[in-house]
Chains A and B, each alone.
Chain A
Amino acid sequence: DIQMTQSPSSLSVSVGDRVTITCRASRSITRYLNWYQQKPGKAPQLLIYAAWSLQSGVPSRFSGSGSGTNFTLTISSLQPEDFATYFCQQSDSTPYTFGQGTKLEIK
């Protein structure tokens, strides 16, 4: 299985901050990396697919980058509705695997 490691596991941030979350794969997954946002009691929502492609309807303040084993999710200016948990997921091969999540908390 491909192991996905996210960092940090939590982050205390303020509205307006630029936020960066990283995800590392245990082997190369080229660009087959997706990012999700999950709010309490809700299903995850796809934000970014194929490393840097923005899912329809997702605000442009979200962006993704990386390839191979190292990937980044960036929120350019954090909005109040962005406080949530973020997961990465590889779609290179089954079993599809997720990172452990990064929780954004209010500073």
Chain B
Amino acid sequence: QLQLQESGPGLVKPSETLSLTCTVSGASISSSSYYWGWIRQPPGQGLEWIASIYYSGTTYYNPSLKSRVTISADTSKNQFSLKLTSVTAADTAVYYCARKEVGSSYGFDYWGQGTLVTVSS
């Protein structure tokens, strides 16, 4: 059974870098059939796609965050990661990692449970 699990600090200070890792079990992130990505949700608000990565290393970013975001993958550990620099209170959110099948017809079919990251001094 495919599982995704986010990990990382729950509290980050303003202006610092938010770093999260998603560990995937039950499937290989090296599969050519899927993208792996990050989505966030501020408390009580809607969902925002942040970035996705393909097994080849190709990355896709939301232009609204692109200058501050890096997504990367470690295939040896079957993990992918998110770094968001220069965080502010507006970056406080539940961060989810998720899988999406290749092709426009598909949505995010597997999600991690989410991890709340609070930006505060």
Residues of A within 8 A of B (CB): 1, 31-32, 34, 36, 42-46, 49-50, 53, 55, 87, 89, 91-101
Contacts and interface: CB of A to CB of B under 8 A. Distances in A.
B109 A55 contact: yes
A96 B46 CA distance: 13
Majority secondary structure, A binding face: loop
B59 to A, nearest CB: 10
A87 B47 CA distance: 8
Contact of A43 (B52, B107, B112): B112
Interface string B46-86: 11110010000000111110000000000000000000000
B113 interface: yes
Interface in B91-116: 96, 98, 100, 104-109, 111-114
Contacts of B113: 42-43
Contact of A98 (B47, B106, B109): B47
B2 to A, nearest CB: 12
Nearest to B112: A43
Interface in B4-27: none
